[in-house]
Structure 1
Amino acid sequence: MKEAINPPKSSTPKAFFLSLILLSLFYLVFLSLQSKHPNSGHRTITINGLKIRPGYTSYDTYIHHQLHKTTNPKLRKIWTSRDWDRKIRVFTQFFLQLKQEKLLANSSKALCVGARVGQEVEALKQVGVNDSIGLDLVPYPPIVIKDKFIGEIERTLKPGGICVLHVAISRRSDKYSANDLYSIEPLKKLFNGSDLVRSRKVDGFGLDTEVVFRKRK
């Protein structure tokens, strides 16, 4: 495992950590609701704008299904070839907008969760956020490392820190997702230690909504 490269020190104080949670948000949603419905079996669960898909008997079942996607050699080849440049261009625009809104700065520390092969990490570096790293179920060195999902979010997001979510609400997410999200209300309940800053529509390869939370101080 390779260590992340530390950027040059800046005289600007690092006011917050930025956590970018993409499709892997569904890991957290599924884990939270699965603990409330331990005997759900293969039933479909719908709770206030969030539907848990049938077929997942445990969190480990879901993780195993996700691993098939992450380790699929054909998908990984696509992600590192024709997908690479166009996704970097799209995410670069997302991050530049966050910088314009003063929600992201060059001095920010960014953790991309569910980073796959690291397009989001590369996009952050291209807009000047050099202290950026990604993690996923399966590592893809040198810019994606494997670690504990929820533990890393809790560890890195400091009081006053910003959490940016890119999720699918207006359309059905892909076959690997554990659930379908119909509003941002379930997210607000999950992030009960944070305040909603704003949400907006985006076009990000199936992800159509950007939601920003700030952790309470």
Structure 2
Amino acid sequence: MERHVRLFLNKLSFASIAIASLTLLLLFLQTPQTCIPPNSPPKPHLKFPKSSCDSTPRQILSVDKKNKRLWSTKLWHNNLSSFLNFFHALRDLGLLHNHTKVLCVSAGAGHEVMALSQMGLLDVTGVELVDSPPLVTRADPHNLPFFDHAFDLAFSAHLAEALFPSRFVSEMERTVRPFGSCVVVVEECGDDEVREIVGLFTKSRFVNSVNVTLTGLKMTRILMKRVSSR
């Protein structure tokens, strides 16, 4: 009796394996419904991607084309104009000239770099964790790849977003020459917050703080003068 049961179970197993193998083969040979037939006309709503099975190469935009699109937007022009107004005020203070070497830390897409260049500055460097060529190169704001005293002025509108604010400020100070300037812009704040930010600068003296509008936001500009040569 046990022998008959064993034989029956073996036959059942072989039959199951055969059915499963045949099913897998049919699934492999059949075109999935999510795929588009090769000769089907294109449909507007399936321009990109056409389907999960489409292996045709995608068009990759060059950096120049991406920048052309980005720089032609209304938002870009508005932000650029805002930075131009901001830096014109610094130039009126005598902090910016054509030959002033400027470092923009955490420069994002590079609005400030473009604004300074349009003002006629010949040596402007923008750095960010993610590069945006040709305006911004990749570098860690907490560990800047520049020699000591390499710049006349360091600027950042993103100190509040720094992972380690004291290290961020220390690197700004390190790369600025003695009697050069460090300029940071933060969300509009009062005297207590300003004093807290100024306390991060160990090699500079406080010059002033002014409420400004930058990219449509109410901000506070803090100006420091580098005094220590250490």
- Could you tell me the TM-score, scaled by structure 2's length? 0.52
Question: What is the alpha-carbon distance in structure 2 between the residues aligned to residue 207 and residue 130 of structure 1?
Answer: 29
Q: What amino acid sits opposite 2:227 in the alignment? A: R
- The partner residue of 1:169 within 188, 191, 207 is 188
Deviation (angstroms), 1:156: 2.3
The answer to whether the 8 A contact 1:169-1:182 is kept is no
Bigger RCO of structures 1 and 2 (CA < 8 A, at least 6 apart): 1
The answer to whether the 8 A contact 2:173-2:182 is kept is no
Which residue pairs with 2:83 in the alignment?
91
Q: 1:133-172 counterparts in 2 under 5 A? A: 133-152=125-144, 153-170=172-189
Report the aligned-residue RMSD: 2.4
Between Structure 1 and Structure 2, whose CA radius of gyration is higher?
Answer: 2
> Could you tell me the percent identity over the aligned residues?
33
Q: What amino acid sits opposite 2:78 in the alignment? A: R
1:103 matches 2:95: yes
Does 205-214 or 191-200 show the bigger shift? 205-214
Question: What is the alpha-carbon distance in structure 1 between the residues aligned to residue 210 and residue 183 of structure 2?
Answer: 11
Q: What amino acid sits opposite 2:204 in the alignment? A: S
Moved over 3 A (4+): 77-80
Unaligned runs of 5+ in 1: 1-76, 172-180
Determine which structure has the larger helix proportion and give its number.
2
The answer to whether the 8 A contact 1:80-1:117 is kept is no
Which residue pairs with 1:208 in the alignment?
219
Unaligned runs of 5+ in 2: 1-68, 145-171
Deviation (angstroms), 1:128: 1.5
The answer to whether the 8 A contact 1:79-1:117 is kept is no
Q: What amino acid sits opposite 1:215 in the alignment? A: R
- Could you tell me the TM-score, scaled by structure 1's length? 0.55
Q: What amino acid sits opposite 2:185 in the alignment? A: H
Q: What amino acid sits opposite 2:187 in the alignment? A: A
The answer to whether the 8 A contact 1:166-1:207 is kept is no
The answer to whether the 8 A contact 1:113-1:135 is kept is yes
Deviation (angstroms), 1:109: 0.6
